[in-house]
Amino acid sequence: MPRVLKRKVLREFYNRLFQAFGKQNWWPGESAFEIIIGAMLTQNTNWSNVEKAICNLKKQNLLTPQKLHALSHACLAKLIKPAGYFNLKAKRIQNFLVYFFKTYNGNISSMKRQRISRLREELLSVNGIGPETADSILLYALGKPVFVVDAYTKRFLSRHAIIDENSDYYDIQRLFMENVSNDRQLFNEYHALIVRLGKDYCRPKPRCESCSLRNTHFPNKMKV
DNA sequence: GACCAGGCACATC
DNA sequence: GATGTGCATGGT
């Protein structure tokens, strides 16, 4: 597809989504730190379950870098249980906290001052943070202009024949970053609108028509 | 009871 | 490099 057409189509998609759903006010979180924790908890999990986990942390007044850093794995896992994969996610959050304190002394403002490429590299080196989680943190918690790609984005574009079924995370990210304005507010709203659309209309389709097996696989090991 | 949800790492071939 | 699997809860 010619570049001029890609730009037109992506702009039209955005306009229609915005007209249909309006402003999404993402990310749902009261602080950058809460957004980071939410981004890790929402991995393969319904947001309403994440809210329960975040609510547990808030009720105990534990949603600060220092307090969460001091919490044991067992306590953290118990509190985030409603978000599923609680043992795994507790470990992943602790991995992030180790990095966050070692590199930025638990200070979000210091982290925000780091350049995007370096931050991305650092986040991806944390066990448990992949491309989508890293980009969600960069965009929604740190206010950096990067486009977040998720399973909904791939389904949406693939069904409109904008991308190939085999396109990977970075192919899709590049499509947006090269063809829509490099504007963090636009990236914020666009991704949120796609998620909103996906929740309502963009369910996984069966792998084949004659059986119930589904193909929701969206490999995260994407070449840079 | 089956399926799905705002992924990721690791094992295996 | 590509594919399969474990991780787990709560809503529909």
Percentage of chain A exceeding pLDDT 70: 90
Residue A170: pLDDT band (50, 70, 90) is very high
Average pLDDT of chain A is: 90
Domain that holds residue A193: 3-25+147-201
Domain co-membership, A129 together with A73: yes
> DSSP letters of A206-218?
BSSTTS--B----
Do the domain assignments include residue A17?
yes
Positive or negative, the CA dihedral A24, A93, A127, A101 is positive
Which chain A residues in 157-216 sit with Cβ < 7 A of strand C? none
Q: Which nucleotide is nearest to A43 (CA to C1')?
A: B7
pLDDT digits (tens, 9 = 90+) for A98-131: 999 999 999 999 999 999 999 999 999 999 999 9
pLDDT reported for residue A140: 98
Domain co-membership, A37 together with A134: yes
Asked if A172 and A220 count as a contact pair (C-beta separation under 8 A), the reply is no
pLDDT reported for residue A169: 94
Chain C positions with a protein C-beta closer than 7 Å: 2-11
Do the domain assignments include residue A19?
yes
Domain co-membership, A97 together with A73: yes
Do the domain assignments include residue A185?
yes
Domain co-membership, A132 together with A36: yes
pLDDT reported for residue A15: 97
Q: Which helix (H) or strand (E) holds A17?
A: helix A3-21
pLDDT digits (tens, 9 = 90+) for A20-51: 999 999 999 999 999 999 999 999 999 999 99
CATH number, domain of A104, equals 1.10.340.30
Domain co-membership, A41 together with A16: no
* Cross-strand pairs, A206: A214
Do the domain assignments include residue A222?
no
- Would the Cβ of A152 be found within 7 angstroms of any atom in strand B? yes
Domain co-membership, A14 together with A58: no
Q: Which helix (H) or strand (E) holds A95?
A: helix A86-104
CA distance A24 to A13: 15
Residue A208: pLDDT band (50, 70, 90) is very low
Positive or negative, the CA dihedral A40, A43, A46, A49 is negative
pLDDT reported for residue A3: 83
- Whole-number distance in Å between A220 CA and C12 C1': 28
Percentage of chain A exceeding pLDDT 90: 79
Q: Which nucleotide is nearest to A42 (CA to C1')?
A: B6
Domain co-membership, A41 together with A137: yes
Domain co-membership, A53 together with A130: yes
Residue A222: pLDDT over 50 = no
Domain co-membership, A39 together with A110: yes
pTM of the model: 0.92
Domain co-membership, A154 together with A190: yes
pLDDT reported for residue A155: 87
pLDDT reported for residue A215: 36
User: Which letter does DSSP use for residue A82 in this model?
Assistant: G
More confident residue, A214 or A7: A7
Do the domain assignments include residue A221?
no
The domain total for chain A is 2
Do the domain assignments include residue A218?
no
pLDDT reported for residue A49: 97
